């Protein structure tokens, strides 16, 4: 569970890979099959080396109106997939460093957000086994391949038109509009527009230039996130990069002890099985009202959890064959995270629970992935081998336990 929870919260960190998928899918207004063929050719033709990105990121998670409502940062990153080296430095609009994350062949580096004006960087030695594992990579970015497979069947993206970019070059603009459905008191389906995701591509090279996510507030589209690619290139292998951050001025290193290897049998973070009665003793917990016919249920939770945090647990419903339903508590999400990561439509139950769907499993497929948020603000990853319509009906059966 620990690794899966880390994966959920780390989704924002892999935004570069996520938006890069659109480059492979929507390279021109042609058929889906042609796009897939071009995507495959583009990926196989990419050379190995050091990936270099410079990205301008605007965030307005509270969806406030006005041009000055959000914050803008510049993130510059380097990644040598073959050697397991990476470096990312984020600066605010004034040029001040606000975030650092890096790894060379000996250390991992991380900078907590500075609160007193200093720039302490935690430096932790890599344990030998982890170093060996990192350096054994083959230089293939499997995340982009997997994400392309998720997105290529999305039927909701439309070509908005052809526009001029900042430098006058022609671009293709594509938009994915999101709608929330619910049922009225008479059982009639109600559909409301909730926002969109826009993608801008160079019309000649098909390079991704910008992505933009909006939500509707007060009857107007408000931008909550905009990512603009200023530089995206692959540098030759062996290009000199200060992976150890030695080129940065004003930072200091705080050495941390290496994280010891933990015997899995004695790892206190490994989840344990619990009963429904024990789960119901914790506040802000939810489950299906009844176990679906033909399914069995297992509940696991991390031991020794903090009492002041939402309870972390997972319910696995296993059905015939490979059928499954999974409800995993992920706590309270950061503002704007769900809107920018689960934007392929949503559904609101009669009890006020909201399902935000992931476009990794498009509508109509026999698999659904979503983020479910309760009226008290707690979120759950809700996924399984059912269609989206079946999941909407299933969500109506989720009830509070406490």
pLDDT digits (tens, 9 = 90+) for 240-292: 999 999 999 888 899 888 766 655 555 666 789 999 999 999 999 999 999 99
pLDDT exceeds cutoff 90 at 379 = yes
pLDDT exceeds cutoff 70 at 168 = yes
pLDDT band at residue 186 under the 50/70/90 scheme: confident
pTM above threshold 0.85: no
Least confident span in 7-11, 73-77, 230-234, 375-379 = 7-11
Q: Which CATH class is domain 264-400?
A: alpha beta
The rounded distance, in Å, linking the Cα atoms of 292 and 16 is 39
User: pLDDT value at position 339?
Assistant: 86
C-beta of residue 58 within 8 angstroms of C-beta of residue 213: no
Q: DSSP character for 114? A: P
The pLDDT tens digits for 205-224 are 777 788 899 999 988 999 99
Mean pLDDT, range 183-190, rounded to an integer: 84
The domain segmentation of the chain, as residue ranges, is 2-255, 264-400
Above pLDDT 90, what percent of the chain? 45
DSSP 354-372: EEEE-TTS-TTSS-EEEEE
Strands (E), 184-251: 189-202, 208-217, 220-235
Question: In angstroms, what CA-CA distances link 28 with 21, 77, 154, 319, 359?
Answer: 14, 28, 15, 41, 20
Least confident span in 3-7, 88-92, 160-164, 178-182 = 3-7
Three-state SS at 117 = coil
pLDDT exceeds cutoff 60 at 195 = yes
Q: At 344, list the tokens.
A: 């392929």
Tell me the CATH number for domain 2-255: 2.50.20.10
The pLDDT tens digits for 61-70 are 989 887 678 9
pLDDT band at residue 47 under the 50/70/90 scheme: low
User: pLDDT value at position 266?
Assistant: 59
The rounded distance, in Å, linking the Cα atoms of 27 and 312 is 41
pLDDT exceeds cutoff 50 at 308 = yes
Mean pLDDT, range 106-113, rounded to an integer: 87
């Amino acid at each position: 569970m620990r690794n899966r929870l880390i994966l959920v919260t780390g989704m924002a960190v892999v935004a570069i890979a996520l938006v890069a998928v659109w480059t492979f899918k929507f390279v021109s207004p042609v058929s889906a099959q042609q796009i897939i063929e071009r995507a495959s050719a583009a990926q196989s033709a990419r050379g190995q080396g050091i990936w270099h990105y410079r990205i301008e990121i605007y965030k307005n998670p509270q969806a406030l109106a006005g041009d000055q409502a959000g914050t803008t940062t510049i993130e510059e990153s380097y990644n040598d997939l073959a050697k397991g080296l990476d470096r990312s430095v984020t600066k605010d609009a004034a040029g001040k460093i606000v975030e650092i994350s890096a790894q060379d062949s000996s250390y991992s580096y991380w900078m907590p957000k500075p609160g007193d004006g200093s720039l302490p960087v935690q430096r932790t030695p890599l344990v030998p086994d982890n170093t060996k594992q990192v350096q054994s990579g083959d230089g293939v970015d499997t995340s982009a391949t997997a994400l392309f497979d998720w997105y290529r069947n999305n039927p909701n993206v439309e070509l908005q038109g052809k526009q001029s970019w900042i430098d006058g070059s022609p671009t293709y603009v594509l938009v994915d509009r999101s709608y929330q459905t619910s049922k009225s008191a008479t059982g009639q389906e109600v559909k409301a527009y909730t926002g969109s995701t826009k993608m801008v591509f160079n019309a000649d090279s098909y390079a991704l230039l910008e992505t933009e996510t909006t939500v509707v507030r007060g009857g107007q589209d408000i931008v909550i996130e905009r990512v603009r690619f200023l530089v995206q290139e692959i540098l030759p292998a062996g290009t000199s990069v200060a992976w150890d951050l030695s080129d940065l001025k004003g930072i200091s290193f705080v050495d941390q002890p290496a994280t010891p290897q933990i015997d899995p049998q004695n790892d206190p973070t490994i989840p344990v099985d619990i009963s429904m009665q024990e789960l119901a003793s914790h506040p802000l917990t939810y489950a299906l009202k009844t176990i679906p016919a033909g399914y069995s249920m297992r509940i696991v939770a991390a031991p020794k959890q903090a009492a002041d945090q939402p309870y972390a647990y997972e319910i696995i419903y296993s059905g015939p064959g490979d059928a499954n339903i999974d409800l995993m508590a992920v706590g309270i999400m950061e503002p704007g995270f769900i809107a920018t990561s689960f934007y392929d439509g949503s559904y609101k139950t009669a009890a006020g629970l909201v399902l935000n769907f992931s476009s990794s499993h498009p509508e109509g497929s026999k698999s659904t992935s979503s983020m479910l948020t309760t009226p008290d603000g707690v979120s759950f990853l809700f996924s399984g081998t059912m269609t989206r319509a079946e999941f909407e009906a299933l969500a109506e059966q989720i009830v509070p336990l406490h």
